[in-house]
């Protein structure tokens, strides 16, 4: 597991250049029947975040969201709306072992259709939170902080 200091290093503001890649992904706000939102504690760094991941070549946004939800949570979902698009470099320039990338995330809302909640190898814990009970910001993976703040403040359709 990556320590908090190392994880922050992954997300520390960096200089971008022509070698910086742009990586597009989806973040999924999965709500249960009570309206609480599913967060996962990531196995790579111990931070809480939203289920989701990068769009693979040949995949649509919809296909990515459905695949990532199933892989990371065991749930089958139905997407209900677009919540926002996040591309600002603050906390979105990430150092991976093989490159530096700027993350662009499309945030989608979903409801559960079927399945049983199961952790994947990418998470150590899955838990539903109401926005007023989200974990402290220092425990949330940096790219998820602004989207979760927007959710807690009922902002929809944001482009950041």
Long-range contacts of residues 90-96, Cβ cutoff 8 Å, at least 24 apart: 90/13, 90/146, 91/11, 91/142, 91/143, 91/145, 91/146, 92/11, 92/142, 92/143, 93/11, 93/13, 93/14, 93/16, 93/20, 94/10, 94/11, 94/23, 94/143, 95/9, 95/10, 95/14, 96/10
The 3-state DSSP class for residue 63 equals helix
Number of domains the chain contains: 1
Mean pLDDT confidence for 156-160: 96
pLDDT score of 1: 36
Q: What is the CATH number of the domain that holds 14?
A: 3.90.79.10
Tell whether the model's pLDDT for residue 7 goes beyond 70: no
Q: Checking phi first, is residue 123 left (phi over 0); if not, alpha (psi -120 to 50) or beta?
A: beta
Residue % of the chain over a pLDDT of 70 = 91
For range 131-160, the mean pLDDT: 96
Q: For residue 79, what are the domain limits?
A: 4-159
71 is catalytic: no
The 10s digit of each residue's pLDDT in 33-43 is 999 999 999 99
- Name the residue with higher pLDDT: 81 or 3: 81
Q: Which of 6, 56, 90, 125 is catalytic?
A: 125
pLDDT at 94: 86
């Amino acid at each position: 597991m990556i320590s908090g200091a190392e994880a922050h290093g992954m997300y520390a503001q960096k200089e971008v250049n022509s070698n910086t890649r742009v990586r597009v992904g989806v973040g999924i706000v999965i709500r249960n029947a009570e309206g609480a939102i599913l967060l996962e504690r990531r196995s790579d760094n111990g931070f809480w975040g939203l289920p989701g991941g990068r769009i693979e070549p040949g995949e649509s946004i919809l296909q990515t969201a459905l695949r990532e939800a199933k892989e990371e949570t065991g749930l089958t979902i139905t997407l209900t709306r677009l919540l926002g698009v996040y591309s600002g470099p603050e906390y979105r320039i990430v150092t991976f072992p093989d490159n530096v990338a700027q993350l662009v995330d499309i945030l989608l809302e979903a409801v559960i259709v079927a399945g049983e909640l199961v952790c994947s190898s990418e998470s150590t814990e899955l838990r539903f939170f109401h926005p007023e009970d989200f974990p402290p910001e220092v425990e949330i993976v940096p790219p998820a902080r602004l989207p979760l703040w927007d959710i807690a403040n009922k902002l929809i359709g944001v482009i950041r």
